[in-house]
Every structure is written in C-alpha cells, then in structure tokens.
Amino acid sequence: MGLKNSLHNFREKNKDKKWLPAFSAIHTFLFLPNETTHNGTHIKAADDLKRTMNIVIMAMVPCLIFGMFNAGYQHHVAFGDIQQATGGFFSSEFWTMDNFMVGFWKVLPLVIVSYGVGLAIEILFAIKNSHEVEEGYLVTGMLVPLIVPIDTPLWMLAVAVAFGVVIGKEVFGGTGMNILNPALTIRAFLFFAYPTWMSGDKVWVQGAVARDKAIAAGENLDAISGETILGSLAQNKAVGYDVMDMFYGLIPGSVGETSTLIILIGAGILIFTKIGSWRIMLSSVLGALAMGLIFNFAVSSEWITESSKFYGLMNTPFWHHLLIGGFAFGTVFMATDPVTASQTNKGKWIYGFLVGFISIMIRVFNPAYPEGVMLAILLMNVFAPTIDHYVVQGNVKKRMKRLKVKTA
C-alpha cells in the first residue's frame, strides 16, 4: 500500500503536467483505474475496463502458448527434424521444450513490437489530447501476434500497428469510439500492403522464407512447403491432415488460430464471464454452416465440376470450414468485440449470421487469399450500427402499434 499511496500522491502533485497521462497509464496498469464514479450510480460492481481486458487476455493465453509449441513443431516437421506426430494433441513429439523454445523466440518479439509500438502511440495521443491512457490496446496488442504468420518481419508489423492504432482507433476518438476492430485493421493493412508475406506456403513455417532465399542464391538445399489446408484446397490439392489434426491445431497457420480446441476453451471463458456474446458466436457458426451446405449442395447437384477452380473448397464438408483457417479464432475473439459488433440482441443474431455466411463465401470465391473471416468481420463492423438502427426502429413501430390498439 505504501508504493500505491506514494504513486497516488505523486500523481496529485503533478496533475497539471503534460506528461501525466504516461505516468497514469503505468499507475493504472499496476493498480486500479485512476478515476472512479463518486455519485449518481445506479449499479455498483467490481468490474471495470481493466478487469474486462485482462479476462480477454487470459482467455487468449492458452492460444498463445499452444501457438508457440505449434510454431516449433511445424518448423521441425518441415525441416525433417522430427516426424509428423502420431498421437495427435497428446503426442510426445508435439509437447517438447525444443518446440516451445523455437516458437517462444519467434513469437515473443511479435508480442513486444505489438505492445511497444501500439502503447507508445496511445501514450503520445493521450499526452497530446490531455486524456487518460485507456486499456483498450491491452487486448489488441495480444490479438495482433496471434493473427499474423510466424515469420512476419518485425518492421512490417511495427508499420502495420502504427497504421491500425492511428487510423483504426485514434482518429475516431480512441477506445470505445472506433467503428472497425483495430486488430483486424492491422491485419488488413498487412494483407493489402504486403500480400506476399500474408499468403503462400512459406510464411507459416519459421525459417521457410529464409530457406527459399538461400535456394534462390544458389545454395544446395531442399525446398520445403508449409502450405495451409485452405491454400491446398484453394488449388484443388489433396490435404495431408485428418480432422483431428484440424481440431487439435497441429497444422500450419497463423500463430494463435490453428487449434479449435484451445479456442473453444477461450470461448467458454468469455461466455462464462459474459464478456463475449454467445449469440454472435452461435449465429456465426450457423451462418458458416449454411453457406457451406449451399456449396456442398452445388457440388452434389453437379452445378460445380472438378474442373472448376472453386471445386476444392466447395467440395469440403460443410462442417470442416469451422476447423480450418482463422474462422474459429475470428468468431470468438474479434467478431464479439463489444465496441464494433451489434449491441441489440436481435442485431447480434443477424450480425453473427452474416459474419459466418460471408466468411465462407469470401473463402471460396477468393482463391488468391482463401480466408474470409477477417474481411467479413470488417465488413459487418461497418454495417453493425445500421443493423441496430433497424432493430430499434422495428421495436419502436411494434410498441407504437400496441399503444394504438390500447388507446383505440
């Protein structure tokens, strides 16, 4: 308590200083928020923005740890150091310290750059505008390393984070005012600005890009492939992974997006704590299944033949779409963002269904980048206020009709 009181007194003595928001950010991170409501409250609760953000981070930590193991595992399998695990999730070939350390030293710099650049920009804006540094970036800073390929250059990530924080959030007024999910804004910037680093079969395996450059320079090395399941299906190739590999996450992909099992654990935490909307999660799954069924029906009716470039993904069993790519991660951790998603209960059902439906549509019809959840969520972020508007107006009209019936 002595340190806390000393810091509080220091803050009070320097409350007119321009640099105070930077100090307050550290004070808030270590202790409680600096501002509390003193009067006029109708509900008193122990939760606040900091606690909410911390719970979301805790829900993502299992994805982060698993992603580190998987990054090392995919590296060693691709380079021929070990054989593909035969015991699935419980395989001794997967849960090794060697795998973890390879992934740890690749993922840790991504986390440091994400938080370092993002928080630095937030503090600069707070000092410039003389307001508190809010905790919204705590979640964004963790999301970003989990949704990018393992070999993403750090300078590239820094540029994207700067763009996402400034254009995706600060220009709208900061945390709670943004209309687009900041983490997805960062991911979209990376995809459109540096597409070769966000797709293909090399960026998902640590060291594959460097190996490719060495081969191009004339070194006598064997080429390796780290192509994702979506990449293979988009080219109508056979997939070398079974359903349980997909579910457990022993497949190439972005750092935190591969394991549906681990993501479900995070979903349970968010639903139990009522931070993530189960309506959005469930309706997104229903939307994805509906679109997948439509494509499967088109193939079974022979409207789409094997010669079609869309055949591979259209012929994929509709429920497999839930296990591959970033669909599960996007649905649980980004579609449910309370700031950019629909706010009304009926609106959440509509919003979530369209996220899932459009995700699979983009996934199938965009073979150059067979992953649609990012673009689908960003698109629905834009339309979320419109959905809520018409839901509210519909409720108003119903009540007006009931009022007229009672007064008649």
Instruction: Output the six-digit token pair for 335.
Output: 């579609």
pLDDT attached to residue 155: 95
pLDDT attached to residue 80: 80
| Average pLDDT, rounded, for the chain | 84
Burial of 37 (0-12, 13-18, 19+ CB in 10 A): exposed
> What pLDDT, in 10s, does the model give residues 298-345?
999 888 888 888 888 999 999 999 999 899 999 999 999 988 999 999
> What pLDDT, in 10s, does the model give residues 226-237?
778 888 888 888
> What pLDDT, in 10s, does the model give residues 114-128?
999 998 888 888 777
Instruction: Output the six-digit token pair for 229.
Output: 């399941």
Q: What percent of the chain has pLDDT over 70?
A: 84
| Interval 155-171 mean pLDDT | 90
Instruction: Output the six-digit token pair for 155.
Output: 């300078």
Burial of 169 (0-12, 13-18, 19+ CB in 10 A): buried
Rounded CA-CA distance 160/190 in Å is 6
Say if residue 265's pLDDT is above 70: yes
Rounded CA-CA distance 377/383 in Å is 10
pLDDT attached to residue 95: 92
Question: At how many degrees (to 10) do helices 182-193 and 373-407 cross?
Answer: 140
How confident is residue 279, by pLDDT bands cut at 50, 70 and 90?
very high
Q: Locate tokens 């992603």: which residue? A: 67
Rounded CA-CA distance 308/312 in Å is 8
Q: What percent of the chain has pLDDT over 90?
A: 49
Instruction: Output the six-digit token pair for 90.
Output: 């419980």
Contacts of 3 (CB under 8 A, 6+ apart): none
Contact 191, 374 (CB under 8 A): yes
Burial of 156 (0-12, 13-18, 19+ CB in 10 A): middle
pTM: 0.87
Rounded CA-CA distance 90/73 in Å is 13
| Interval 75-89 mean pLDDT | 80
Instruction: Output the six-digit token pair for 394.
Output: 């519909």
Residue 97 CB neighbours (<10 A): 10
pLDDT attached to residue 221: 67
Rounded CA-CA distance 67/72 in Å is 9
Say if residue 45's pLDDT is above 90: no
> What pLDDT, in 10s, does the model give residues 148-159?
999 999 999 999
400-404: list long-range contacts, CB under 8 Å, 24+ apart.
Answer: none
Say if residue 239's pLDDT is above 60: yes
What letter would DSSP give residue 355? H
> What pLDDT, in 10s, does the model give residues 169-204?
888 777 777 888 999 999 999 998 998 888 777 888
